A and B are shown apart, each in its own frame.
Chain A
Amino acid sequence: MVKITIDNVQVEVEEGTTILNAARKIGGEVVPPAMCYYSKLPGTGGKCRTCLVEVAAGSEKDPRPMPKLVASCSTPVMDGMVVKNKTSERVHENRGAIVEFLLINHPLDCPVCDQAGECHLQDLSYEHGAEKTRYEEERRTFDPIDIGDKIKLHMNRCILCYRCVHVADQLTDKRVHGVLNRGEHSEISTYIEKAVDNDFSGNMIDVCPVGALTDKTFRFKSRVWFLKPMEASCACDKCSGNVLLWMFGNEIYRVTARKDKYGEVEDQNGKPGWICNTCRFEKKSPENWKIIGPRTINRHSVISQGKYISPRSNSTKNISNGNK
């Protein structure tokens, strides 16, 4: 076991743990945000750079600070390491910059995006983004492509986290989509007209941090905050059958996996609770499910916070009251 201090809080973790996971062990404010890392998908992380933190002391043995900010999701802890996340002005400034980079080519179409309300980019912009854009150029757009009748790909919103590629690699028997082209022209695509259709392909929707991959069977049906999440289960031979139903009255609008506070699927019976496409897309009738009860989600979303307070200004005034 090694000892590490993050934002003045000490924690003991196993050797080889990443800074991010050490921070998650502490929980709360010291946890850096992660847009591409997904603990249930080995190989993810390091790309979005939102989880950058400052290493004020490398280790007990070599207490020199690291010159650059490091990606906490892919940097292992060292005994005696001192990390600054919330307490670092440098981190705050650079994270704001990363958010700006992620937003300059984002369509900002939250009003028509099904992800709104549970979008990690929306949360991040709320916490770190500037109120005005400095980007005067034309935003990048991609030709829409059809990847089948279950999943909608909206490439313009994609932040290239690669999570869905790892889902296809690790959960399905055959990957038909990937990252094509290079640099700012990189895109998620199948290249040829091909449906991404596989028993577990729907999990791509659950891991997508933004509205790039959404559920076609739920498209434009309702805003998520109008729905009531209910824990439910069914006997399924492909997956655990433990899901979350998003309901309005007696109607099931959407089925997703059960997710934790970091937006990752929870374990079911000791394994990541990925759900199959049959449960996700086919079982939309209450008879299909044994409804366990309402779920209180620690909703991380902008909308569910109920009031709009800008965390950057120290204002505690509610914007909805007309005060900025």
Chain B
Amino acid sequence: MARKILLEHDEIPGIETYAVYRKNGGYKSVEKALKTMSPEQVVEEVQKSGLRGRGGAGFPTGLKWSFLAKPEGVPRYLLCNADESEPGTFKDRYLMEKIPHRLIEGMIVSSYALGSNLSFIYIRGEYMWILNILEKAIAEAYAAGFLGKNILGSGFDLDLRVAPGGGAYICGEETAMIESLEGKRGNPRMKPPFPAVKGLWGCPSVVNNVESLASVVAIVNDGGDEYAKIGIGKSTGTKLFSACGNVSRPGVYELEMGLSVEEFIYGDDWCRGIANGKQLKACVPGGSSVPILPAHLVTKTAAGENRLMSYESLADGGFASGSMLGSGGFIVFDEDQCIVRNTWNFARFYAHESCGQCSPCREGTGWMEKVLNRLEHGNGNLRDIELLEDINKKIEGNTICPLGEAAAWPVAAAIRHFREEFEWHVTHREESQSRNYGLLLKESLMH
């Protein structure tokens, strides 16, 4: 299951330069697409590949591309979402730092497919050094004739630019990102109209994640059917997972979808188990907004089957006993971690990152943060737990953008699976300030 497509050659010295990248088969997909394929054929291959958006939503990329409006005389834009900010996620960063040309190559063929002559990479402002890496690589690609006017004599022109954000998680939401690219506050837009109809500067636009666009390279090179053979079921291809938290070997891993979660956490090729010889307590498998799973539901589904690293398997059981693949930010909690503290931490994150535009999110995220802060610090009541559940329900589905759900789900799931730990913070206020329930639970189990 160790299969490298995206990170192929990531260990070759100098792979970040055009010369080395090209020598190792780089830009072949541009040659193939521009010389032998029509834009429609590229779109068709991507549809056949079954590639699903790697940013978190998992929406089929080819289908998204097919929605793009193509009115006469109006420019279209391809926008790369490199605003990687979902806690637990640091995969795009690795790809861009190590193999910047891979993203650029993917953007050229994708821009060709969509008919974009000016494409942008919107990168989070904190990744300023990666912006420099990308701009250097883009300059090399211009010099080599892969960007600019009449690329490879095909008649296709493309300019590629990088634009930084200024520190706002919400700009990972595609319409907020577009607002930010227009030089405004990152307030998500009301939908409809969707970006495919009215996006950047009111023109049809497609927003894709870094990893999705980089994956297009292999799809064009090998064909969509070949790509679809990799992986399992509707989870085709390889996926980057960024493992963090209490694992022995955190980092970015590319794996073929379908690897078992158990292998990923404990296998020698992967995370090598829980750090410091401890036990697994819980796992958030797809970035902080997806539901947390208690240990017994991490490696197995509720039905007792092996849980796999795929969209379907990670979601098996729905919200009752499953989670989501999300962005691939794989956060592991050891036996000593406090779920209440972590839930408060995540709630604080979402309250901090709410744009403040719509009332349920602006007020609801702040409210949840304050209640959880009290619970964590020994000032909570049992009714606060029900209150949290209710605030959750009132935010979910009522907001302009998905940040509402992103804020609501982690709290709902933590209470669903670790209710007794929340209650313990109320019934053992003082004790909860000096020790964690995780440890306590383990002790009581041993006696």
Contact = CB atoms under 8 A, between A and B. Distances in A.
Is A in direct contact with B (CB under 8 Å) within the complex? Answer: yes
Interface of A: 45-50, 52, 67-69, 71, 74-76, 94, 97-98, 100-102, 104-105, 134-135, 137, 140, 159-160, 179, 181-186
B132 interface: no
B398 A134 contact: no
Interface in B398-427: 398-400
B357 A105 contact: no
B95 interface: no
A75 B193 CA distance: 10
Interface stretch (B42-50, B364-372, B437-445): B364-372
Interface residues of B, number: 28
A46 B358 CA distance: 8
A68 B360 CA distance: 14
21 contacts: A46-B400, A47-B357, A47-B359, A48-B359, A69-B398, A71-B400, A97-B398, A98-B394, A102-B363, A105-B363, A134-B387, A137-B371, A182-B168, A182-B356, A183-B351, A183-B352, A183-B354, A183-B355, A183-B365, A183-B366, A186-B355
A104 B397 contact: no
A56 to B, nearest CB: 16
Contacts of A102: 359, 363
Contacts of A74: 190
A68 B365 CA distance: 19
Given A46-B400, A94-B398, A97-B394, A179 B185 contact: yes
B356 A160 contact: yes
B400 A186 contact: no
Interface of B: 168, 185, 190, 192, 351-360, 362-367, 370-371, 387, 394, 397-400
Nearest to B191: A74
B356 A184 contact: yes
A47 B358 contact: yes
A101 B394 contact: yes
A104 B358 contact: no
Choose among B168, B185, B387 the residue with the greatest number of A CB atoms under 10 Å from its CB. B185
Contact of B367 (A52, A75, A137, A159): A137
Choose among A71, A74, A183, A185 the residue with the greatest number of B CB atoms under 10 Å from its CB. A183
Closest 3 A/B residue pairs (Cβ): A186-B356, A97-B394, A101-B363
Choose among B358, B359, B394, B398 the residue with the greatest number of A CB atoms under 10 Å from its CB. B359
Nearest to A50: B359
Contacts of A101: 359-360, 362-364, 367, 394
Given A98-B398, A101-B363, A182-B185, 14 more contacts: A46-B400, A47-B400, A48-B358, A49-B359, A49-B360, A52-B398, A68-B397, A69-B398, A71-B400, A98-B394, A104-B367, A159-B359, A181-B356, A185-B356
A183 B399 contact: no
Contacts of A183: 351-356, 362, 365-366
Contact of A71 (B190, B352, B355, B362): B190
